[in-house]
Amino acid sequence: MNVNAVILAGGWGERLWPVSGPERPKPLLPLGGGGRSLLRACYDRVAPLVGAQGKVYLVTDGRLAPRMRATLDLPKEQVFVEPEGRNTAPAIGLAAACLASIDPGSVMLVLPADHLVQDEPKFREILRGAVAAAGKGYLVTLGVQPTFPSTGYGYIQRGEKLMEVEGQTVFQVARFMEKPDQEAAQRYVASGEFSWNAGIFAWRVERILEEIRRHVAGLGELLDDLSYEELLAPHSEELVRRWRDVTPISIDYGVMEKASKVAMLPAEVGWSDVGDWHAVWETIREGGTEVAVRGRHVGHDTTRSLVWTSPGKVVATLGVEDAIVVDTPDALLVADLGRAQEVRGVAKEARPAPPDWDELRGHDAAGMLSVVQSFPSQCREALARGRKLDAPQELAGFRRVVCTGMGGSGITGDLLARLLSVEVRPHRSYELPEGIDEHTLLVGMSYSGNTEETLSAFRQAVDKTPRAMAVTTGGELGRLCHERDIPWIQVPAGLQPRAALGYLLLSPLPWFDQWGALRHEVGAAIDMLQSMSEELAPANPGNPAQALAERLHRRVPLVYAGSEFTSVAAFRWKTQINENAKQPAFWGELPELCHNEIVGYELTQEVLPGACVVFLRSAFDHPRVQARVEILKEVLERRGLRYEEVWARGEDAAGQLLSLMYFGDWTSAYLALGNRVDPSPVQPIEELKDKLRRWGNG
Ligand code: PA5
């Protein structure tokens, strides 16, 4: 008879806040011994039991599935995904129904992903007995020998002895008891007849399905109606729709208390559900010392305490007794060791409330959100303006373009490099750009027209080529062009340079088109940006850009592009987050970063605990890069690092690029509001420019 194991990895472990949370659920915490997560330890514990014929499966919800799967390196078909967590009966039912197709006659072991067992060999011996009893048609549960009168667990009362199998004694279950009060718990433990209900089970697949059909209204029908394929596809419409109506109920209440032929095997194996900080204290204090420490701790006169620090941080305690001190980058918990059960309550209150975007909008005094919203109109207007101007014919015939500009204007050069069919060299410094000759079209790009690096480079370069032009609102660059009879396109003033990207980039585009140097049309892309503008606007609360900004709040984004082509979008994200949200952000490009940055993950938790990778993904990225991203996600998972993904939209390369940039513009503006800063002003840039002006010319 084959044995398959099903690990339930649902909830996130509220009582282990602030280390656990929806983003870092308890099964993934490194409490499994030897640096392993609880989930990994559970897998290692049970894998020897299933042998070569059986497999270890996982049930989890859609949000957690990729991370859980990455932790165990499981193939997709070994992960059963619930559309959403509905307690243990539906989770077990889903797994049983799938196993009924995969391995119908088998015995199914069920284990929670987040428990610890000290004596693993003995645990496996007991489970072998449980499998044998299950083979005889019993629904078998393990009863853990209580070590104290816990009010946190349900209890099982032992009945008649049923049999001896595999060297284990199997008892009938007299009854299941819900979590008792202190007095009842003491009675149970004193009687010697009661065990803790550890939620570890064994049964034949068809036996549990039969009992589910009998006792859990609705669930049995759903499992019978859906095919294996529908149950396995986490987003199958039918499953998602019908799952909503499934009653959330535990397997104990829903089935075990009512079923026939229920047996239990006593287990004295050093079991812990590591359910709260007190349990963690007991688990990790080495050699029974009184102070359990994870991380760096300096303790003077400290007794019976748990100290858990963030990587790279030290916690010092002096004259402390019976304390829980848990420090994370987001929150610090200081509690009485005896009140660990109550952490759930404080965690609820301490978790940040969802942002009130309407209220936060008050920070956008200068109206950046409206400017971002009107970006597609700005693009259309810029194209229309450009089309009205005749391209100066004396500039035609160039072989390359050098575009000199800084910051919000300078990025235009990078974008032109992607949209034009000739070589474009973006240039960002004072010096004469290299390689300027009579075949070069020089483009001076400065929104204000007064940026000194741009002016310096433009002045030097303009003497080296007969072909020069500029795009600016005016300023010194406009004056210079006027004086030297250089064609220039005047764009509307009154915006932040980075918010005028549509004007700067698209006004000259019709000229390039007329010169036969345009590779990518952008008309369709602008229509797509228009629909994004509606979707991501504040009028659509909870939209994807807001949701991402909420998740990135107080994090340091590491924005990764999937190709050289989209790398400029990652760069734009970085600069927009800097200038709008007033916070650090960094960017990188695949596949290159797989050859360096990836090594830096080793100490990221310590030196940059708030880091969060944002993958900018495009369907046009090279398939090997797509594979790299999937592997990188697993690497990040294993290191406990966060990541997000933003997929490009649009039919063509230009659309994909612009959509990624536009999503970043929105996200950075919302991040600003979350940071409670006005996205528009860039005072440090102004101050620096001002100081330089007063510095003189050296
Ligand atoms: O966003 C900004 O304000 C800056 O990055 C500017 O664009 C940069 O300082 C260059 O100024 P300008 O765009 O006026 O040439």
pLDDT tens string 270-326: 999 999 999 999 988 877 789 999 999 999 999 999 999 988 889 999 999 999 999
Specify the pLDDT at position 484: 97
d(CA 430, CA 303): 63
Specify the pLDDT at position 698: 52
d(CA 139, CA 212): 12
Q: Is the CB of residue 685 below 6 angstroms from any atom belonging to ligand 1?
A: yes
Ligand 1 centroid to 444 CA: how many Å?
13
Q: Is the CB of residue 446 below 6 angstroms from any atom belonging to ligand 1?
A: yes
Asked whether 444 and 454 are in contact (CB, 8 A), the reply is yes
Asked whether 265 and 130 are in contact (CB, 8 A), the reply is yes
Q: Is the CB of residue 408 below 6 angstroms from any atom belonging to ligand 1?
A: yes
Among protein residues, the one with the nearest Cα to ligand 1's atom 14 is 448
Specify the pLDDT at position 644: 95
Tell me how many degrees the CA angle 693-696-698 measures, rounded to the nearest 5.
Answer: 135
Q: Is the CB of residue 454 below 6 angstroms from any atom belonging to ligand 1?
A: yes
> In the predicted model, is pLDDT for residue 466 greater than 60?
yes
Alpha helices in 394-522 (DSSP H): 407-419, 452-462, 475-484, 501-506, 509-514
Among protein residues, the one with the nearest Cα to ligand 1's atom 3 is 497
Specify the pLDDT at position 376: 98
Q: Would you name the residues annotated as active-site residues? A: 579, 595, 689
d(CA 565, CA 417): 9
Q: What is the mean pLDDT of residues 647-659?
A: 96
d(CA 625, CA 633): 12
Q: Which two tokens stand for residue 112?
A: 């929670």
- 193-214 pLDDT, tens digit each: 999 999 999 999 999 999 999 9
Specify the pLDDT at position 174: 95
- Cβ-based neighbour number of residue 551 at 10 Å: 14
- Residue 237's pLDDT band (boundaries 50, 70, 90)? confident
Specify the pLDDT at position 63: 80
Strands 168-177 and 262-267: antiparallel
% the chain with pLDDT above 90: 87
What are the CA-CA distances from residue 399 to residues 198, 403, 567 (Å)? 74, 13, 24
Specify the pLDDT at position 351: 85
Specify the pLDDT at position 69: 86
Name the residue among 57, 96, 414 with its Cα closest to residue 226. 96
Compute the radius of gyration of the chain from its Cα atoms. Answer: 32
Q: Please list the residues that pair with 427 across neighbouring strands.
A: 404
Specify the pLDDT at position 640: 79
- Residue 24's pLDDT band (boundaries 50, 70, 90)? confident
d(CA 43, CA 35): 14
DSSP 559-608: EEESSHHHHHHHHHHHHHHHHHH-S--EEEETTGGGGTHHHHGGGHHHH-
Q: Which of 411, 414, 448 for a ligand 1 pocket mutation test, highest count of atoms within 8 Å of Cβ?
A: 448
Ligand 1 atom nearest 475 alpha carbon: 14
Specify the pLDDT at position 368: 98
- SS3 of residue 270 by DSSP: coil
d(CA 166, CA 11): 33
Q: Which two tokens stand for residue 318?
A: 């002096």
Q: Is the CB of residue 451 below 6 angstroms from any atom belonging to ligand 1?
A: yes
How would you label 281-316 residue by residue, b for 16+ Cβ within 10 Å and e otherwise?
bebbbeeeeebbbbeebebeebebbbbbbbeeeebe
d(CA 654, CA 380): 15
Identify the burial level of 325 via C-beta atoms within 10 angstroms of its C-beta, where 0-12 means exposed, 13-18 middle and 19 or more buried.
buried
> In the predicted model, is pLDDT for residue 556 greater than 80?
yes
Ligand 1 centroid to 447 CA: how many Å?
7
Ligand 1 atom nearest 446 alpha carbon: 15
Specify the pLDDT at position 16: 96
- Residue 35's pLDDT band (boundaries 50, 70, 90)? confident
Query: How does the average pLDDT of the chain come out, rounded?
Result: 95
**Residue with tokens 């009854």, as numbered in its chain:** 175
Q: Which of 368, 406, 476 for a ligand 1 pocket mutation test, highest count of atoms within 8 Å of Cβ?
A: 406
Any residues with CB less than 8 A from the CB of 287 and at least 6 apart, and which? none
Q: Which of 368, 445, 451 for a ligand 1 pocket mutation test, highest count of atoms within 8 Å of Cβ?
A: 451
Any residues with CB less than 8 A from the CB of 214 and at least 6 apart, and which? 220, 258, 259
- Residue 232's pLDDT band (boundaries 50, 70, 90)? confident
Name the residue among 182, 184, 372, 311 with its Cα closest to residue 604. 311
Q: Is the CB of residue 576 below 6 angstroms from any atom belonging to ligand 1?
A: no
Name the residue among 69, 142, 44, 52 with its Cα closest to residue 103. 52
Q: Which of 503, 685, 693 for a ligand 1 pocket mutation test, highest count of atoms within 8 Å of Cβ?
A: 685
% the chain with pLDDT above 70: 100
> In the predicted model, is pLDDT for residue 381 greater than 90?
yes
Asked whether 387 and 489 are in contact (CB, 8 A), the reply is no
Specify the pLDDT at position 34: 86
Ligand 1 centroid to 683 CA: how many Å?
12
Specify the pLDDT at position 583: 98
Q: Which two tokens stand for residue 293?
A: 């420490």
- Residue 139's pLDDT band (boundaries 50, 70, 90)? very high
Label residue 219 left, alpha or beta by phi (over 0 means left) and psi (-120 to 50 means alpha): alpha
Asked whether 548 and 642 are in contact (CB, 8 A), the reply is no
Q: What is the mean pLDDT of residues 52-78?
A: 89
Name the residue among 431, 432, 429, 436 with its Cα closest to residue 451. 429
Q: What is the mean pLDDT of residues 553-576?
A: 97
Q: Is the CB of residue 580 below 6 angstroms from any atom belonging to ligand 1?
A: no
Residue 681: cis peptide before it, omega within 30 degrees of 0: no
- 160-201 pLDDT, tens digit each: 999 999 999 999 999 999 899 999 999 999 999 999 999 999
d(CA 363, CA 326): 34
Name the residue among 580, 578, 562, 581 with its Cα closest to residue 570. 562
d(CA 245, CA 454): 63
> In the predicted model, is pLDDT for residue 65 greater than 80?
yes
Any residues with CB less than 8 A from the CB of 331 and at least 6 apart, and which? 17, 18, 350
Strands 440-446 and 400-404: parallel
Name the residue among 434, 435, 466, 470 with its Cα closest to residue 449. 470
d(CA 556, CA 582): 11
**One-letter amino acid of 576:** Q
Q: Is the CB of residue 220 below 6 angstroms from any atom belonging to ligand 1?
A: no
